[in-house]
Structure 1
Amino acid sequence: MSHASSPGEPTDLARLRAEIDAVEHGVLRRIEPGAKAMLVTVCVVALLVAAILPWVGDTTGWQVLLGQAAPGQRVHLVPVLFSGAVFLLGGLLSVLTLATRRWALAWASAWGCAFSTVLGALSVWTQQTGRIHDPGPGPGAGLIVAVAAVFLLTIQWFRIASSRPTG
């Protein structure tokens, strides 16, 4: 069956092409983490579990975050900064990125988690050392779990962010 060419046809094709280009642009701005999303979710849950475990002596992660150290406990500044970074960048930003599936947020999550990993390593170190080689109370189990979880998040977010199709 042949169709007669109408004068409005080029306009319709141009409109269709513009619509296809807009859809393609929207797709390229989104990520599809697939099974990696489950590992990201498990790591975020591990961060939440780490928050209720001791980080410095008897002081839990939430107490470190809120500046409420247990009596007699000295918490260095770096673990406090790490707690803020890990819960904001590792936890909240990861959840927001999974919810919106935006490629730019995936990169922000990757770099934020990488920054948090460095802070976490420094947190462990500062809890093992002190002034004039006077050791601190040492890193607690929660601090170690948080560092491990944010390290795994870093790896996953870089893998997800770099898997975006080019276009």
Structure 2
Amino acid sequence: MSNADESGESRRQLAETEREILRRIDPGLRALVIASVMLVLIVCSLLPWVGRAVGWEVLMGQADPALNIGLLPRLFAINSTIVGLGFGALALITRRWVIAFLAGVAGVVVTFEGMIAIWSRQTSGAAGPSIGLVLAVVCMAVLAVQWMRIVWSRS
């Protein structure tokens, strides 16, 4: 093999390694914050969200029909589980930039969705939002901020 062939192969390997490094993130201490907030998000499912209906009942659609929970709190429960726990765990495990980006952007959307769910409960005239729903929205906001800070640190 000639010197030019070896040099070309080395450059190709170096470029491939550089692309792989750019695809990865290192959350550092933020990983601990994210994991802790994800744990609090799980605990939120055990707290009341609307009236006396707890989060997992809202998520599964098993809340008392008399509470008239509506679509928005349930949609927030589903999406906060998918984005907050699913995307978050996937991003922490794989440490891929694109998954962290999706977790951050989707987290922002779900946070606004949660704020609209709180507003819908406050204006419904029925049972208002409880501590679990409010805390879950705060958790999603913290997760979104943490993921976006990690993503922006790579830019």
Q: State TM-score, norm by structure 2.
A: 0.96
Q: For residue 68 of structure 1, what is the aligned residue in structure 2?
A: 62
Contact 1:57 1:140 in 2 (8 A): yes
Instruction: Provide the C-alpha distance between the structure 2 equivalents of 1:67 and 1:112, rounded to a whole number of angstroms.
Output: 23
Instruction: Provide the C-alpha distance between the structure 1 equivalents of 2:31 and 2:151, rounded to a whole number of angstroms.
Output: 12
What is the Cα deviation at residue 90 of structure 1?
A: 1.2
Query: Which runs of structure 2 are paired with 1:125-140 in the superposition (5 Å)?
Result: 125-130=119-124, 135-140=125-130
Q: For residue 35 of structure 2, what is the aligned residue in structure 1?
A: 41
Instruction: Provide the C-alpha distance between the structure 1 equivalents of 2:85 and 2:110, rounded to a whole number of angstroms.
Output: 11
RMSD: 1.1
1:151 matched to 2:141? The reply is yes
What is the Cα deviation at residue 136 of structure 1?
A: 2.1
Q: Which structure is larger by alpha-carbon Rg, 1 or 2?
A: 1
Instruction: Provide the C-alpha distance between the structure 2 equivalents of 1:42 and 1:136, rounded to a whole number of angstroms.
Output: 33
What is the Cα deviation at residue 14 of structure 1?
A: 1.0
Number of residue pairs the alignment of both structures matches: 155
Instruction: Provide the C-alpha distance between the structure 2 equivalents of 1:43 and 1:115, rounded to a whole number of angstroms.
Output: 17
Query: Which runs of structure 2 are paired with 1:81-160 in the superposition (5 Å)?
Result: 81-130=75-124, 135-160=125-150
Instruction: Provide the C-alpha distance between the structure 2 equivalents of 1:71 and 1:81, rounded to a whole number of angstroms.
Output: 16
Instruction: Provide the C-alpha distance between the structure 2 equivalents of 1:136 and 1:122, rounded to a whole number of angstroms.
Output: 16
Q: For residue 4 of structure 1, what is the aligned residue in structure 2?
A: none
Instruction: Provide the C-alpha distance between the structure 1 equivalents of 2:145 and 2:65, rounded to a whole number of angstroms.
Output: 37
In structure 2, what residue type is equivalent to 1:141?
Answer: I
Contact 1:65 1:83 in 2 (8 A): yes
Consecutive unaligned residues of structure 1, counting only runs of 5 or more, are 1-6
Contact 1:56 1:140 in 2 (8 A): yes
Match of 2:20 among 23, 26, 29: 26
Instruction: Provide the C-alpha distance between the structure 1 equivalents of 2:50 and 2:31, rounded to a whole number of angstroms.
Output: 31
What is the Cα deviation at residue 72 of structure 1?
A: 2.4
Identity fraction in percent:
35
Q: In proportion to residue count, which structure has more helix?
A: 2
SS of aligned partner of 2:67: coil
Stretches of 4+ aligned residues off by more than 2 angstroms: none
1:163 matched to 2:146? The reply is no
1:13 matched to 2:17? The reply is no
